[in-house]
Amino acid sequence: MVDAVIEFPSGQVRQKLASAADKRLSGAFTQLRTGWRHDGGLTADRRDEALDHLARVIVKYQAALVEAVSRDFGHRSPHETRLADIQASLSAIRYARKHLSRWIRPQRVGVALPFLPGRARVEMVPLGVVGIISPWNYPIQLALVPLTAAIAAGNRVLLKPSELTPHTAALLERLLAEVFDPTEVAVVTGGVDMAQAVSHLPLDHLLFTGSTSVGRQVMRAASDALVPVTLELGGKSPAIIGPGFDMALAAERIAIGKLFNAGQTCIAPDYALVPRGREAEFIDHFEKATSRLYPRLGDNADYSAIVTDKHYERLLGLIDDARRRGANARFINPAGEALEPAKRKLAPTLLWQVPEGSAVLTQEIFGPVLPILSYLTVEEAVALVNSRPRPLALYLFSRRKADVDFILGRTRAGGVTLNDTLLHAAQDGLPFGGVGESGMGSYHGEAGFRTFSQARPLFRASRFSPARLVRPPYGERIDRMLRWLIGR
């Protein structure tokens, strides 16, 4: 039966299909493909109904989801899970349902005289069977927001959640099975092998969220079958405090953005750029703000743990490397607690006078560690940002229009929030994505709908249009028409 055959362009993966995991994957993919072949995309009514159902199921499982994420992290702030995973997903669903009928509406396009009274329009049609590979740091949002966009666009979806958050992945699988038929949405859980196999599938689109290095591998794998990719990657997002800006306000907002989810946020400020001579002021205000936000760390439900021992060790390694090279460090532990490494709560750490070449200045940090760099002029600040790959986010604290125009005019980042952090990503109406090494393509709101749609041109020919006369044998009649069209 044709539907049961999956043509993997890479011979390597075809061999691996013998394993149980690959059989699961091929079974899931085949069901989605069969659904597509028999019934095409999801109807507009089904999309709306399914998204409504999905929202209700998320609310129903809210407590279990909060619990699952926390088990996966060791500890994850329940409020942060509700804000950034549950509410963010619900908000995306509600936004999509509210705007879907407008997004779907075909756009009429003008028709040139010779083709009248033919009609032309652009229709937004589903792509087919699309894949989503999601990371662990916001394991619900980063699976369900892309899924919402893909369903809003009428696709069938194969989702591979991160292996680092297995409890959440298992719950997502159960939850989605309540809403969707296996011909509409399938969740495949498992390790990196499974994710690699997904990236080799002949999908109609693949949205990957994760690190830049894995993003490269995913794009390479997808290129075998010419699968178009959206890559939502990471990077080093700067927070620039403009000359003359209120330091207390900037430091507090950077602390809030940096310490949310203990810094394990793709758009967390990665490093601060402070006017030279004001570093001590920044350190002082950052420490005070952190102490107000998190008076305790170890037993504070608001302060999240680092997801795994490996990531915890990696962050300690970044701090050690910088200090060995001569950087100064401030560990902010307001209650002076003894933090057990086994619980993976890492004290917010500021680093300054960090020598260039330190790992903390070259690798994405993804934790509560903030190096502070300084600049003398806005030109120097811009040069520092531009000496690194294009970041996913850029934060600028400034009320001086000339500085804002100068810095935004000469830098590129996936998204920008002025005078705060993270908030551009919370706007359903704004596209979200990276540029350069921080990614390609975007989603959220209408951008997500478009990412998972084909803008298909449709021309309806008319029996009466003059264009029907254009056919061989060419002769005087066509010459007259061409003279009229081209001009003499």
Q: How many residues bind ligand NAD (CB under 6 A)?
A: 28
For residues 264 and 314, the answer to whether their CB atoms sit within 8 Å is no
User: With binding defined as CB under 6 A, does residue 439 bind ligand NAD?
Assistant: yes
**Cα 43 off chain centre by:** 26
User: With binding defined as CB under 6 A, does residue 85 bind ligand NAD?
Assistant: no
Q: Nearest residue by C-beta to ligand NAD? A: 234
In the set 192, 376, 458, 470, which binds ligand NAD (CB under 6 A)? 192
Which residues touch 404 (CB under 8 Å, ≥6 apart)? 242, 396, 398, 418
Considering 80, 232, 364, 446, which one is annotated as catalytic?
A: 232
Shortest separation between residue 137's beta carbon and ligand NAD, angstroms: 5
The token duo for 172 is: 């997502």
User: With binding defined as CB under 6 A, does residue 434 bind ligand NAD?
Assistant: yes
266 has catalytic annotation: yes
In the set 210, 257, 269, 334, which binds ligand NAD (CB under 6 A)? 210
Shortest separation between residue 14's beta carbon and ligand NAD, angstroms: 16
Q: Which stretch binds ligand NAD (CB under 6 A): 75-83, 228-236, 249-257, 297-305?
A: 228-236
Shortest separation between residue 205's beta carbon and ligand NAD, angstroms: 15
User: With binding defined as CB under 6 A, does residue 230 bind ligand NAD?
Assistant: no
User: With binding defined as CB under 6 A, does residue 61 bind ligand NAD?
Assistant: no
Considering 80, 184, 252, 266, which one is annotated as catalytic?
A: 266
Cis peptide before 275 (omega within 30 of 0): no
Q: Give the whole-angstrom CA distance, residue 304 versus residue 70.
A: 9
Give the per-residue contact string, 257-276, with ligand NAD (x = CB under 6 A; - = no). ---------x----------
Q: What is the dihedral of CA 50, 51, 56, 59, to 10 degrees?
A: 140
User: With binding defined as CB under 6 A, does residue 218 bind ligand NAD?
Assistant: yes
Q: Give the whole-angstrom CA distance, residue 434 versus residue 439.
A: 4
User: With binding defined as CB under 6 A, does residue 239 bind ligand NAD?
Assistant: no
Which residues touch 69 (CB under 8 Å, ≥6 apart)? 76, 81, 85, 139, 140, 165, 167, 168
Shortest separation between residue 92's beta carbon and ligand NAD, angstroms: 13
Tell which residue, 205, 221, 188, has the closest CA to residue 41.
205
123 has catalytic annotation: no
Which residues touch 72 (CB under 8 Å, ≥6 apart)? 136, 139, 164, 165, 166, 167, 168, 307
Sequential DSSP letters for 160-226: E--TT-HHHHHHHHHHHHHHS-TTTEEE----HHHHHHHHHS--SEEEEES-HHHHHHHHHHHHHTT
Shortest separation between residue 223's beta carbon and ligand NAD, angstroms: 13
**Cα 26 off chain centre by:** 26
User: With binding defined as CB under 6 A, does residue 443 bind ligand NAD?
Assistant: no
Q: Give the whole-angstrom CA distance, residue 296 versus residue 319.
A: 21
The token duo for 286 is: 């950052």
For residues 28 and 180, the answer to whether their CB atoms sit within 8 Å is no
In the set 135, 242, 371, 415, which binds ligand NAD (CB under 6 A)? 135
Give the per-residue contact string, 146-175, with ligand NAD (x = CB under 6 A; - = no). --------------x-xx------------
User: With binding defined as CB under 6 A, does residue 142 bind ligand NAD?
Assistant: yes
The DSSP call for residue 423 is: G
Which residues ranging from 338 to 377 are in contact with ligand NAD (CB under 6 A)?
A: 364, 366
Shortest separation between residue 221's beta carbon and ligand NAD, angstroms: 6
Shortest separation between residue 487's beta carbon and ligand NAD, angstroms: 51
User: With binding defined as CB under 6 A, does residue 188 bind ligand NAD?
Assistant: no
Q: Write down the residue that tokens 């602390």 correspond to.
A: 255
User: With binding defined as CB under 6 A, does residue 303 bind ligand NAD?
Assistant: no
Tell which residue, 155, 154, 139, 152, has the closest CA to residue 189.
139
Which residues ranging from 86 to 125 are in contact with ligand NAD (CB under 6 A)?
A: none
Residues that bind ligand NAD (CB under 6 A): 133-137, 142, 160, 162-163, 192, 195-196, 199, 209-211, 214, 217-218, 232-234, 266, 364, 366, 392, 434, 439
Q: Which residues are catalytic?
A: 232, 266
